[in-house]
Amino acid sequence: MASIAETPARIPVNPTVLRQARSGLNLDFDEAVALLNNLLNREDEEPVSAADIRSWEDGAQQPTLVQAETLAAAYLVPFVALFQTELPLPNMTDFRSGPGGRVIALSYNTLEKLNRLSRFYLVAKHISVGLGLIEDVAVPSIELRDVRQAEDMEVIASRVRASLGISDDLQLSWKSDEEALDAWRQQLEAAGIFVFALPIAVAECRGASIWEPGGPPAVLLNSADQITAQLFTLMHEHAHLILAKQEGAINLCDPSVATRSREEQLANGFAAASLLPRSLVFRLLPDPVPSQNYSDWPQSERIRLRRSLKVSNAAIGIRLKQLSIVADAGAQTFWRRPSTFIPHGINRPVWQRYRRYLGLRTTRLARRAIDLKIMSATEISRILDIKVKDVEAMVG
């Protein structure tokens, strides 16, 4: 007679939800099998076949507990969703306009990164609430309908820059693009914004933001992107947070000068105005202006401005057009993307990668939350889906 241990219990998941979850990720049966078996192999579990998945989706059979948990992980859905009558819609607002106005579909890898962002945010929310940090968030909230003219966003950008303590002379003192990005990031984090970074296919997504009611504001940077592009994205996402975005949805962005979205246009304008104040632009402006099309300026002049200001040529072109210095920003010329996507630090230990993903502020606050017994390393490991030893090394 077979023992209970030899006959694992079957879990009554909803076959319809399984079909919805797989098709929602555009996975065929072979791709789903590969994902599942990769995860099952880590747990030393028996592999599954396409026939197994079909039988689960048809309701002819039910998966074991381990298989059901693995299905949820592979399909990027909460385990409890497998028992619901239908799959909840992803809570995302897609602002992407894509290169040339062509929006590229999100790949499984990108969707997995956005799922990871949700986990990061959950940790940040628990920490912020537990440590009483929500009251200290210093991000202005402005309704989109109240921004009537470009001048309104210009004033907002000026005030934000002043509140962050970024002066013209400080900006000119930075020695590298990396130093500029770190400085802006640190100031936004000091204002209560969590800034995460994950390597994502650049053509699919360049950044995201999220701000749930009762939680902290957060921004995701694409660490596979160019440094100056990450800086523009940082301030672009800051604009989404400012525009009263305490709605809980992930704002998914691919900043483009071709966008028709008013909010995206304002976010681009805010980012350019924040990074390039009027006073600093006119201080460095050549006299006379070489051309009404920024892309036609002498390369030496463009290099001088870019190196002095630590921003991209695309951002400079946008700003020059904002200030009526040029008629054509030439931004499409400079809105370049890396031709290939190479994940950075993929061979690093898990704890090192997650320290980079979450950032210094988050890991320090996580350490503090653990010390004060607000959260345990075990709780954080469950949310992030990494081992407890990696959490302890990450915050150590």
Encode the chain in three state secondary structure: CCCCCCCCCECCCCHHHHHHHHHHCCCCHHHHHHHHHHHHHHCCCCCCCHHHHHHHHHCCCCCEHHHHHHHHHHCCCCHHHHHCCCCCCCCEEECCCCHHHCCCCCCHHHHHHHHHHHHHHHHHHHHHHHHCCHHHCCCCCCCHHHCCCHHHHHHHHHHHHHHCCCCHHHHHHCCCHHHHHHHHHHHHHHCCCEEEEECCCCCCCCEEEEECCCCCEEEEEECCCCHHHHHHHHHHHHHHHHCCCCCCCEEEECCCCCCCCHHHHHHHHHHHHHHCCHHHHHHHCCCCCCCCEHHHCCHHHHHHHHHHHCCCHHHHHHHHHHCCCCCECCHHHHCCCCCCCCCCCCCCCHHHHHHHHHHHHHHHHHHHHHHCCCCCHHHHHHHHCCCHHHHHHHHC
Q: What is the pLDDT of residue 365?
A: 97
CATH 1.10.260.40 in the chain, residues? 15-89
Between CA 271 and CA 314 the distance in angstroms is 11
Q: Look up residue 151 and give its two tokens.
A: 């001048």
Between CA 188 and CA 219 the distance in angstroms is 10
Between CA 183 and CA 275 the distance in angstroms is 12
Between CA 47 and CA 118 the distance in angstroms is 28
Say what the pTM is: 0.89
Strands 217-222 and 207-211: antiparallel
Fold assignment, 15-89 = 434 Repressor (Amino-terminal Domain) (1.10.260)
Q: Are 218 and 193 in contact (CB under 8 A)?
A: yes
Chain centre to alpha carbon of residue 161: 22
CB-based contacts of 58, cutoff 8 Å, min separation 6: 15
End-to-end CA distance of the chain: 50
CA angle 51, 56, 58 (to 5 degrees): 90
Q: What is the pLDDT of residue 187?
A: 96
Q: What is the pLDDT of residue 59?
A: 93
Q: Are 107 and 115 in contact (CB under 8 A)?
A: no
CB-based contacts of 235, cutoff 8 Å, min separation 6: 184, 270, 271, 274, 275
pLDDT digits (tens, 9 = 90+) for 30-53: 999 999 999 998 878 899 999 999
Q: Are 9 and 64 in contact (CB under 8 A)?
A: yes
Between CA 83 and CA 257 the distance in angstroms is 43
Q: What is the pLDDT of residue 257?
A: 66
Q: Are 66 and 45 in contact (CB under 8 A)?
A: yes
Q: Are 258 and 97 in contact (CB under 8 A)?
A: yes
Q: What is the pLDDT of residue 281?
A: 96
Q: What is the pLDDT of residue 265?
A: 86
User: How many residues would you count in the chain?
Assistant: 396
Q: What is the pLDDT of residue 350?
A: 94
Q: What is the pLDDT of residue 152?
A: 78
Q: List the pLDDT tens digit at each of the 396 positions of the chain.
A: 444 456 678 899 999 999 999 999 999 999 999 999 999 988 788 999 999 999 999 999 999 999 999 999 999 998 999 999 988 777 888 888 866 667 888 999 999 999 999 999 999 999 999 999 998 898 887 877 777 666 677 888 899 999 999 999 999 999 999 999 999 999 999 999 999 999 999 888 999 999 999 999 999 999 999 999 999 999 999 999 998 767 778 999 986 667 778 888 888 889 999 999 999 999 999 999 999 999 999 999 999 999 999 999 989 999 999 999 999 988 776 665 554 445 555 678 999 999 999 999 999 999 999 999 999 999 999 999 999 999 999 999
Between CA 267 and CA 318 the distance in angstroms is 12
Indicate the burial class of 119 (C-beta count within 10 angstroms; 0-12, 13-18, 19 or more). middle
Q: What is the pLDDT of residue 17?
A: 94
